[in-house]
Structure 1
Amino acid sequence: MKKYSQEILKDISDIDGIILKGRSPSCGIKDVKVYSGMEKSPVIGKSMGLFAAEMEKHFPYLPIEEEGRLTNLIIREHFFTKLYAIFNFKKMAQNKSIKKLADYHAKNKYLYFAYNQTLKNKLGSIVANHEKLETNIVLDNYFKEMVKLFSNLPSKKNYINAYQHIFGYFSKFASKEEKVFILQLMEKYRDGKIDKSAIASILKV
């Protein structure tokens, strides 16, 4: 299976994400049973399927998920957020332009804020390019750090902080009732009563 996987992967290059068959001995990404022997042997642990492991090794920067896990809204949203971030970055990077990279960063900075504020700042420093590195190196460094940023799910606390920062830009133009309404939405999101999309639709982000 390992050799077969490597042969298959030789012909795969330009992809932005991976969805594998759930609960498959070869494609499972988390809960594949590991047996101590070939016949009627006890389970000694759980691991990643052989094909899934080769996919992850070959494409360490790509989002990878099982189809079944994508029925979970939070996991699905995280998967597609990373997928589209990678897709849009690759499209932008074809221009080989620091200006385009700066525009891309500005467009996504609050998304980054919600995921990891430390890495968001590091990405900003890469864009600033104080060391005057070549554009290809800057783009490569940015991509590597961006992938790290999306390696973990964002917390509700971080999302609320990001929304509060966004709201701060125009809160002075909002009425008292509108301010209360937005803050109540954030509280409902914190308490798990609504999805964050309810806030995002109001803030137009």
Structure 2
Amino acid sequence: MAQALDCPAIGFAGYRRRHDSLPEIALEGLDRTGRPDLVVLKSHQPIGDFERLDRSRIKLVSIVRDPRDILVSGMHYFFKGKPDADKKMLRRMQGSLGFRSWQQYVDEFQASSCPIVRYEDLLLNTEKELARLLTRAGLDFCLRQLKTAVHDQSFEVARSRYRKTGELHKLNHARSGTIGGHRHALSVEMIERVNREMSASMSRLGYASAASNILDTRTVLRTAT
């Protein structure tokens, strides 16, 4: 998004590094000067934190993702190598570790006027969905610049760039970025549990949690073995 707007991404909103030597994975394009009035900040904070700010100076867009794939991503990021990583990450997503639950988080964004896009739709039709988001947010953009950004920030192109520049912290963070990876990474029982416990919010966002999805998962697992 930052490259599409020809401005820098300057980190995570509300996050201060404890040490200046720590790499910031959300820093990117600091040499861009095409839009000196704009910067992009990433965030995992609830929408209520932003509603207390001067909204005339900020534009919000929200990207949501299939909670089953979030669970897999979080297993690797927060609990890699630890026993019961899937159960630990699920508890985190349920809000039992002091965080907002995934359901509460996405429901609050849906109830707001914030433009929302599903990660999966953004991945499958990046130019169209990114243009829609920026337009909904009231942000001017150049279509040629957007097309260049879509190419440069695509998963494999970005990973190749990180290898060349030695930005291993970004390379390690960009682990997979796939759609439906939970079908291979989670047990059928865990998928069923997520489907059951998060079904209302999943349904509102268009994420299937029906029995047919579980049957597809069983087939994939059998094929993989």
Report the TM-score range of the alignment, normalised by the length of the smaller protein: under 0.3
TM-score, with normalisation over the residues of structure 1?
Answer: 0.23
Task: Choose between structure 1 and 2: higher helix proportion.
Answer: 1
Which structure exhibits the higher relative contact order, with contacts defined as CA atoms closer than 8 Å and separated by 6 or more residues? 2
